[in-house]
Amino acid sequence: MYMRADAPYKTIEDVRTAKEPPKCGATGVTGPDSFLPKLLQEVVGAKFNIVTGYPGGQDIDLAVERGEIHCRAFTIEAFFGREPYTTWRKKGFVRHLFQTGVKRDERLPDTPTVAELMDQYKTPESGRRLAAVLLAAGSMGRPMLGPPGVPPDRIKILREAYRKTMADPQFQAEVKKRNYEFDPVSGDELEAMAKEVTNQSRDTIDRLQKVLGN
């Protein structure tokens, strides 16, 4: 999440104790720009005023520039990949409140992760399970999937082909040339993650529906 640097909310603690919650822009109720602020309220008590209805991300950014709202939650890749964020970083227009990775991104070494905040505020296990489900999408990225019933030997062949492709120097050079993000996850890891995410209690499912606006 980025926050206007001139806003009075320097840290999540400032958001937790603020008399008036910061306004964050969102396109709807089910995207990360909406559910990430809601998740922070659920797991560490940081309340945000989510302003929905913006047609797209650029409209949210413009609203931040105009001072209509204070913040937006979206992907690190986009923030470091295009304008206006490059100019914003040079001018010190925004600061960062939190990030969702398992560990801190090397480009955001001073920005705490959600996991670190949950440790700081001693979030109960129920809240941690909720966070694990909501944040799994970021870890999964854009997975390559097959239909049910694919024979195990074919899955093995496909996974091995994928692994070799990801390790191919020529392929990696092309990815670097195009300035793409490159953080592949194996099929075994994705399968384990999917099983963990889908095996949840009724309480976690109810809280998930609340966060997603249902």
**How many helical (H) and strand (E) elements, i.e. helices and strands, does the chain have?**
11, 5
Q: Output the six-digit token pair for 92.
A: 């010190």
Looking at the predicted structure, is the pLDDT value of residue 36 above 60? yes
Looking at the predicted structure, is the pLDDT value of residue 17 above 60? yes
Question: In this structure, are 132 and 164 located in the same domain?
Answer: no
pLDDT tens digit sequence for 50-61: 999 999 999 999
Count other Cβ atoms within 10 Å, centred on residue 101.
16
In a domain, 188, yes or no: no
Question: In this structure, are 83 and 165 located in the same domain?
Answer: no
In a domain, 190, yes or no: no
In a domain, 197, yes or no: no
In a domain, 192, yes or no: no
Q: Output the six-digit token pair for 15.
A: 């958001």
Q: Is 211 exposed, middle or buried (0-12, 13-18, 19+ CB in 10 A)?
A: buried
pTM of the model: 0.80
Count how many domains the chain has: 2
The confidence band for 185, taking pLDDT boundaries of 50, 70 and 90, is confident
Amino acid at 14: D
Question: In this structure, are 133 and 151 located in the same domain?
Answer: no
Question: In this structure, are 66 and 25 located in the same domain?
Answer: yes
pLDDT at 214: 57
**Summary mean pLDDT of the chain:** 91
Looking at the predicted structure, is the pLDDT value of residue 167 above 90? yes
Among residues 142, 73, 156, 152, which one has the least CA distance to residue 114?
A: 73
Looking at the predicted structure, is the pLDDT value of residue 213 above 80? no
For residue 16, give its domain range: 2-137+204-211
The confidence band for 198, taking pLDDT boundaries of 50, 70 and 90, is confident
Question: In this structure, are 29 and 71 located in the same domain?
Answer: yes
In a domain, 189, yes or no: no
In a domain, 172, yes or no: yes
pLDDT at 27: 94
Among residues 80, 82, 84, 86, which one has the least CA distance to residue 99?
A: 80
The upper half-sphere exposure of residue 50, i.e. CA atoms within 13 Å in the direction of its Cβ, equals 25
Question: In this structure, are 150 and 111 located in the same domain?
Answer: no
Q: Which residues pair with 99 in a beta bridge?
A: 113
Question: In this structure, are 29 and 80 located in the same domain?
Answer: yes
Question: In this structure, are 165 and 132 located in the same domain?
Answer: no
Among residues 31, 12, 53, 51, which one has the least CA distance to residue 211?
A: 31
Length of the chain: 214
